[in-house]
Amino acid sequence: MNLWEDRPDVRPLTFHPRIGQAAAELLGVDAIRLWHDQALYKEPGGRATDAHQDHPYWPIKETASVTAWIPFSGSQRGGGAMAYLPGTHLIGLRRFVNIFFGDPEDILEDPQVRRIDPVWVEVPKGGVAFHHGLTVHLAEPNGLDQPRAVHTMIFFPDGSTRGYPHPHFAVDRDGIEVGQAIAGEGTPIVWPRPGGDLPPVPTTTIEMPKGIANSGALPRTALRPAAAGEDA
């Protein structure tokens, strides 16, 4: 996550003005911020990604958010392609599904969505797929002999607020309290950026959560190691 902070070669993609403008227009807002970017590489033989919504993972009160999903070599059926349940961002469903540990709940059995058929989307090389943060989506296993290499960026409208106290580095690092607007070094404006400049690397740090599964997923330059006696 937050590759833009310590990978200068990634920063122009994460803050690409055409992608940012498209995301803002999809949300119908004048300006958007970055929640975080993320590399999603599904290795050969990688398992399916369970159906879920993205937005419940984040302590953003308002429900408007959009993810840009960029498969560098394109995506195809049999190789980790994504499927979306059309219209599920409009039904009022906001359910946390833990796809990271244990046996996740099957959100596809929810009465509100179980009659909606997933639509599988193959994205051509050079293409970008956008989905709303409340859209139920899933990905199939990667049955190919090469990784499914994807870069993603999550955008949210400028002026959105922190709605919940549960921790997340995107707001904790900048001291954003519940009820405050999410606006800090770690969540910079993506579009519009006058002159097409890129944001500076944040000076605020990310405190490594206890029990984090993969510390390598967070930017090296922003991490604060766990204090003595803490479980990392």
- What tokens were used for 179? 């009820």
Q: Are 15 and 193 in contact (CB under 8 A)?
A: yes
**What topology is assigned to 3-224 in CATH?**
Jelly Rolls (2.60.120)
Phi/psi of residue 217, each to 5°? -80, -10
**Separation between Cα atoms, residue 174 and residue 166, nearest integer Å:** 15
Strands 148-157 and 137-139: unpaired
Checking if the pLDDT of 113 tops 70, the result is yes
**Separation between Cα atoms, residue 107 and residue 98, nearest integer Å:** 11
- What tokens were used for 134? 């409340």
Average of pLDDT values for 174-199?
Answer: 94
Question: What number of residues does the chain have?
Answer: 232
pTM for the full predicted model: 0.89
For residue 197, count other CB atoms closer than 10 A to its CB: 8
Checking if the pLDDT of 232 tops 60, the result is no
* End-to-end CA, the chain: 17
The per-residue pLDDT for range 4-54, each reduced to its tens digit, is: 999 999 999 999 999 999 999 999 999 999 999 999 999 999 999 999 999
Domains of the chain, by residue range, sit at 3-224
- Quick one: pLDDT band at residue 179, thresholds 50, 70, 90? very high
